[in-house]
């Protein structure tokens, strides 16, 4: 393929089909790619005869995101403490379950399930495309870290889900029981209807009695098996001295059943078997759908094991020996190899180290540390190997404390009670009081039998059914639409919180920007070819471990460069590097003021000079690019009247210039924020209104947990993914305004549903009060009110429908 | 109306059989994943690709 000729037209990546920015293509044989990630995936697929992936993808018309390659260390997954929490072993076969980020289409399903054909020891892989979880079975030959690495190389982000034997079986049993309860209630409802309608239609004599008995028999499993969850929550509510919609439901179910039975035995006519089974079925079903739409299994439990490591090199008698992390105690001297994750808070013993400290700062920009300074647990050594002295371990480390706090606050939280449900409580109280009143009144007037009949009629006819379904149904459509556009809501009640949000805090790196410190611009000012320039610069940087050098080398990796031998290598501190190649002396480093390009003022400029002529040959501009559409997005949010904040671990200057570009007030810019600072910021802002936090890094996790609404954006690390309420599987933050619209519109639907159900309720109560009590009335009233609520929910609102229609257009 | 003595038990038995079948299928894990099998069946078999 002639690259030279292709340069004029726009190149498209052969893997993800994204347009490649000019001169950024990576060429390999006959193909072009936008990044190394995509190239890797393409070659993995090619070498394993899995090119069908592209065929299936094209058939589906789906779009694959470019592979975001982040350095990740999965070695903790081979540790015993991780295995005991997340892996189930039975008869020599181990099972691990991952939530897989980055599932787009059927091609992904196909690829994931093909992994056993090229990962050693993997015996089976099953993906559930409904909730994006995959279960992998493997023998002893496979290391889980290797499996996770393989998935990462394919462009997916695996997040382990808790699965030891007991919890796995428990969850499975619970899910199946739930389905059984619904199925049984549905079948009973359908069958009872057959006999009930016959009776309403006028069956009499023997048939009527027979049909009553059959209805009674069919209703038994519904009342004593399917309806159990209602009784449980009612008892819980009573114990906690609150009101729950389940209380009148339980009274209606149990009371209706026993009264109908008594009525049947005494030859009466007040039989509600059909209505109460329908009640159980409809409410169970609506709750099941909401649960299905929110369930993800990504909770904050077991996070501590992510910071363990099997092999730690500990100094014993002057030699370094590999020992398990748990045998390390304070004061031990350890060696940390290049690329290894540090799992303790340590004090650096070597002269210098370069680390990726994104866990604390959120910045992927490499950081330089000098002897005596502290390295936090969770940071990765990206320079050469170093030695260090362990200062604190386990829960006492800084990250350990943060995790502990996240776990603690996620435990205490539970589901917040929706305001709608709070209003419903008053209504429930009203119904219960009315019922008692009618009961007493009828008892005085007409006697016991009539008192029970009328009181029950009020409860059953007053249709708690519609009321109980009003909120869950409203969520189903919104949650479904959000899910299909890549927004996973882990807890539906936060949608309500979104409506009251006043402050929005945005993380900078990875949320507003791409989160990679990389070469964004290259200018060749000499007469040499680009490749020659790169070769020279590469040779100069070869020995340097300076953060900028590491980013430059990453950039050079994409080219096939000549290697030169260098002489007179010299590091000029704070300025750059000087060396001689083929008799010519070069300097690579800080750019003279005269050569600065104003348009690149926010980036770090590195220049290549010819030392003899002092002439500039080329410049490299490094920086972290703003995400596409970030500016429009921020403007949109500002226009909606939110008070917008930026909280970043980056330095003042960068945050300030970014804030200026985005039009955010300078007092709302918070730079150099540690994870604890961000959490503190949220606590302060909470005093004046609800806070929504958007972030991605481990340093945002605590803040995401503390905020009223925590949103983790795509590519987020496990820690923040699990601490958040909402998780965007795209890194496109434009979705956030959709989320805000959806939340507002969902609220409207809830209110509308309430209006309908309360109208029906009032009518029902009035009828019952006046003595119009008959099972037929209930049999007509209940389905009617329920259907109204269902229709109202699924029609949504005009804006809700429009919001997602536009998006579908975007995709095409 | 005598036919009802035949139809009624038949309807009940049929209903019962289906419920029993549903219980068996659920306990057997047939409904553990409601989304994926519908898509999985669309893939070609190993040998027929290319």
Dihedral of alpha carbons A128, A133, A138, A143, sign = positive
* Strand A643-647 to A669-670 pairing: parallel
Give chain A's domains with CATH numbers: 3-56 (no CATH), 75-160 (3.30.70.100), 170-294+417-476+744-807 (no CATH), 309-342+345-352+365-396 (2.70.150.10), 487-513+627-729 (3.40.50.1000), 518-623 (3.40.1110.10)
C-alpha–C-alpha distance, residues A114 and B49, integer Å: 14
Dihedral of alpha carbons A197, A199, A203, A208, sign = positive
Say what the pLDDT of residue A1 is: 37
C-alpha–C-alpha distance, residues A546 and B12, integer Å: 80
Q: How far is CA A536 from CA A167, A326, A533, in A?
A: 58, 46, 5
Residues shown for chain B: 50
Three-state SS for A136? strand
10-residue mean pLDDT profile of chain A (812 residues): values are: 47 76 69 76 79 77 63 74 82 85 79 84 85 85 84 82 74 89 94 89 86 93 94 90 83 89 85 89 89 72 67 80 78 83 86 81 76 85 85 83 78 58 79 84 84 80 75 85 83 83 87 78 84 86 75 79 80 80 85 69 79 85 80 84 86 82 86 87 90 86 88 77 82 80 88 86 79 77 84 83 60 38
A332-364 core/surface letters (b: 16 or more CB in 10 A; e: else):
bbbbbeeebbbbbbbebbbeebbbbbbbbbbbb
Chain A positions contacting chain B at CB under 8 Å are 52, 56, 106, 109-110, 113, 126-130, 172, 175-176, 179-180, 183-184, 187, 191, 194, 207, 210, 214
Give the chain B residue nearest A106 (alpha carbons). Answer: B39
Contact between residue A281 and residue A223 where contact means Cβ atoms under 8 Å apart: no
Bridge-partner residues for A322, per DSSP?
A313
A240-244 contacts at long range (C-beta below 8 A, 24 or more positions apart): A242/A425, A243/A425, A243/A428, A243/A429, A244/A425, A244/A428
Which positions in chain A touch B36 (Cβ < 8 Å)? 109, 126-130
C-alpha–C-alpha distance, residues A696 and A716, integer Å: 4
* Strand A709-712 to A690-695 pairing: parallel
List the structure tokens of B43: 């893939």
| Sheet with A669-670, side-by-side order of all strands | A487-489, A726-728, A709-712, A690-695, A501-507, A643-647, A669-670
Is B42 within 8 Å of chain A by CB?
Answer: yes
Contact A179 B31 (CB under 8 A): yes
List the structure tokens of A267: 């030859």
Is B40 within 8 Å of chain A by CB?
Answer: yes
C-alpha–C-alpha distance, residues A438 and A548, integer Å: 80
Which positions in chain B touch A130 (Cβ < 8 Å)? 33-36
C-alpha–C-alpha distance, residues A155 and A149, integer Å: 10
Top residue of A187, A189, A220, A285 to mutate, by most chain B CBs within 10 Å, is A187
Per the prediction, chain B carries an average pLDDT of 82
Say what the pLDDT of residue A5 is: 41
> Which of A177, A411, A442 lies closest to A284 in space, CA to CA?
A177
Instruction: Supply the angle between the helices A464-484 and A419-446 in degrees, to the nearest 10.
Output: 160
Note the ipTM here: 0.88
C-alpha–C-alpha distance, residues A247 and A228, integer Å: 12
Say what the pLDDT of residue A809 is: 43
CA A796 to chain centre: 25
Give the chain B residue nearest A171 (alpha carbons). Answer: B32
Which residues make Cβ contacts (< 8 Å) with residue A769, sequence separation at least 6? A434, A438, A458
Is B13 within 8 Å of chain A by CB?
Answer: no
Say what the pLDDT of residue A71 is: 55
List the structure tokens of A135: 């279960």
Q: How far is CA A580 from CA A548, A561, A573, A616, in A?
A: 20, 18, 18, 16
- Tell me the shortest Cα–Cα distance from B5 to chain A, in angstroms: 10
User: Which helix (DSSP H) or strand (DSSP E) does residue A176 occupy?
Assistant: helix A165-200
> Which of A643, A339, A683, A346 lies closest to A504 in space, CA to CA?
A643
Contact between residue A626 and residue A510 where contact means Cβ atoms under 8 Å apart: no
Three-state SS for A734? coil
> Which of A304, A311, A335, A300 lies closest to A411 in space, CA to CA?
A300
Is B22 within 8 Å of chain A by CB?
Answer: yes
Residues shown for chain A: 812
User: Which helix (DSSP H) or strand (DSSP E) does residue B39 occupy?
Assistant: helix B36-40
Dihedral of alpha carbons A394, A398, A403, A409, sign = positive
Q: What is the DSSP string of A102-115?
A: T--SHHHHHHHHHG
Three-state SS for A123? strand
Residue B24 has pLDDT above 90, yes or no: yes
Bridge-partner residues for A381, per DSSP?
A355
Contact B35 A129 (CB under 8 A): yes
C-alpha–C-alpha distance, residues A508 and A634, integer Å: 12
Q: Domain extents for chain B?
A: 1-28
B30 vs A545 pLDDT, higher one? B30
DSSP letter at A341? B
Contact between residue A348 and residue A370 where contact means Cβ atoms under 8 Å apart: yes
**Count of Cβ atoms closer than 10 Å to residue A663 Cβ:** 11
Contact B19 A128 (CB under 8 A): no
C-alpha–C-alpha distance, residues A695 and A710, integer Å: 8
């Amino acid at each position: 393929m002639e690259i030279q000729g292709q340069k004029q037209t726009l190149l498209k990546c052969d893997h993800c089909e994204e347009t490649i920015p000019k001169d950024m293509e990576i060429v390999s044989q006959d193909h072009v790619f936008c990044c190394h990630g995509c190239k890797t995936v393409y070659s993995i697929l090619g070498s394993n005869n899995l090119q069908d992936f592209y065929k299936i993808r094209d058939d589906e018309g789906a779009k694959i995101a470019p592979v975001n390659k982040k350095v990740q260390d999965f070695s903790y997954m081979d540790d015993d403490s991780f295995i005991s929490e997340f892996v189930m072993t039975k008869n020599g076969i181990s099972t691990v379950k991952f939530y897989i980020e980055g599932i787009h289409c059927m091609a992904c399903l196909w690829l994931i399930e093909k992994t056993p054909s090229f990962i050693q020891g993997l015996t089976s892989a099953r993906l559930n495309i409904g909730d994006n979880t995959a279960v992998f079975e493997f023998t002893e030959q496979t290391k889980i870290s290797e499996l996770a690495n393989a998935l990462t190389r394919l462009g997916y982000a695996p997040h382990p889900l808790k699965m030891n034997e007991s919890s796995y079986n428990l969850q499975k049993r619970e899910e199946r029981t739930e389905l059984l309860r619904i199925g049984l209630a549905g079948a009973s409802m359908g069958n009872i209807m057959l006999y009930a309608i016959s009776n309403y239609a006028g069956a009499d004599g023997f048939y009527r009695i027979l049909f009553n008995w059959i209805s009674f028999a069919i209703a038994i499993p519904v009342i004593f098996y399917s309806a159990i969850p209602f009784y449980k929550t009612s008892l819980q509510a009573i114990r906690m001295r609150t009101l729950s919609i389940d209380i009148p439901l339980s009274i209606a179910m149990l009371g209706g059943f026993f009264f109908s039975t008594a009525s049947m035995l005494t030859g009466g006519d007040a039989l509600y078997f059909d209505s109460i089974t329908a009640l159980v079925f409809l409410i169970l079903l609506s709750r099941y759908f909401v649960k299905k739409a929110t369930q993800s299994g990504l909770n904050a439990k077991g996070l501590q094991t992510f910071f363990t490591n099997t092999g730690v090199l500990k100094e014993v008698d002057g030699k370094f020996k590999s020992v398990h992390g748990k045998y390390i105690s304070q004061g031990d001297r350890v060696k940390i190899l290049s690329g290894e994750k540090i799992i303790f808070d340590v004090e650096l013993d070597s002269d210098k180290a370069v680390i990726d400290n994104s866990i604390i700062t959120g910045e992927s920009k490499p950081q330089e540390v000098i002897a005596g300074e502290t390295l936090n647990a969770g940071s990765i050594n990206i320079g050469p190997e170093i030695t260090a002295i362990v200062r604190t371990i386990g829960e006492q480390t800084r990250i350990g404390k943060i995790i502990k706090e996240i776990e603690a606050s996620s435990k205490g939280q539970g589901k917040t009670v929706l305001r709608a449900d709070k209003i419903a409580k008053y209504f429930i109280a009203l119904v219960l009081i009315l019922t008692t009143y009618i009961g007493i009144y009828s008892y005085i007037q007409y006697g016991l039998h009539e008192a029970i009949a009328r009181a029950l009629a009020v409860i059953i006819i007053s249709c708690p059914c519609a009321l109980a379904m009003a909120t869950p149904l409203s969520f189903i459509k919104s949650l479904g639409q959000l899910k299909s556009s890549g927004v996973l809501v882990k807890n539906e009640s936060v949608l309500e919180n979104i409506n009251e949000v006043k402050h929005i805090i945005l993380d900078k790196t990875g949320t507003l920007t791409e989160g990679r410190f990389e070469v964004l611009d290259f200018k060749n000012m000499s007469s040499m070819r680009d490749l020659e320039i790169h070769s020279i610069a590469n040779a100069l940087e070869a020995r340097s471990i300076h953060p900028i050098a590491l980013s430059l080398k990453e950039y050079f990796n994409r080219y096939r460069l000549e290697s030169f031998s260098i002489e007179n290598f010299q590091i000029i501190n704070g300025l750059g590097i000087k060396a001689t190649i083929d008799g010519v002396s070069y300097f690579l480093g800080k750019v003279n003021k005269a050569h600065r390009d104003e348009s690149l003022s926010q980036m770090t400029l590195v220049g290549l000079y010819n030392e003899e002529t002092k002439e500039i040959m080329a410049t490299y501009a490094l920086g972290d690019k703003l995400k596409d559409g970030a500016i429009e997005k921020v403007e949109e949010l500002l226009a909606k009247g939110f008070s917008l904040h930026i909280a970043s671990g980056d330095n003042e200057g960068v945050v300030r210039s970014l804030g200026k570009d985005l039009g955010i007030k300078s007092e709302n810019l918070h730079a150099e924020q540690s994870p604890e600072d961000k959490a503190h910021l949220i606590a302060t802002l909470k005093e004046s209104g609800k806070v929504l936090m958007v972030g991605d890094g481990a340093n945002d996790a605590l803040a995401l947990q503390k905020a009223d609404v925590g949103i983790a954006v795509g590519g987020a690390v496990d820690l923040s993914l699990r601490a958040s309420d909402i998780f965007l599987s795209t890194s496109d933050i434009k979705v956030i305004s959709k989320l805000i619209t959806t939340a507002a519109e969902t609220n409207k639907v809830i209110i509308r549903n309430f209006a309908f159900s309360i109208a029906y309720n009032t009518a029902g109560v009035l009828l019952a009060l006046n003595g119009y009590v008959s099972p037929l009335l209930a049999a007509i009233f209940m389905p009617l009110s329920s259907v109204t609520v269902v229709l109202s929910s699924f029609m949504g609102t005009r804006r809700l429908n429009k919001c997602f229609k536009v998006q579908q257009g975007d995709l095409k | 109306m005598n036919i009802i003595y035949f139809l009624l038990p038949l309807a009940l038995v049929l209903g019962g059989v289906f419920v029993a079948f549903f219980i068996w299928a659920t306990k057997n894990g047939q409904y553990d994943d409601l989304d994926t099998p519908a898509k999985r069946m669309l893939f070609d078999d190993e040998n027929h690709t290319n």
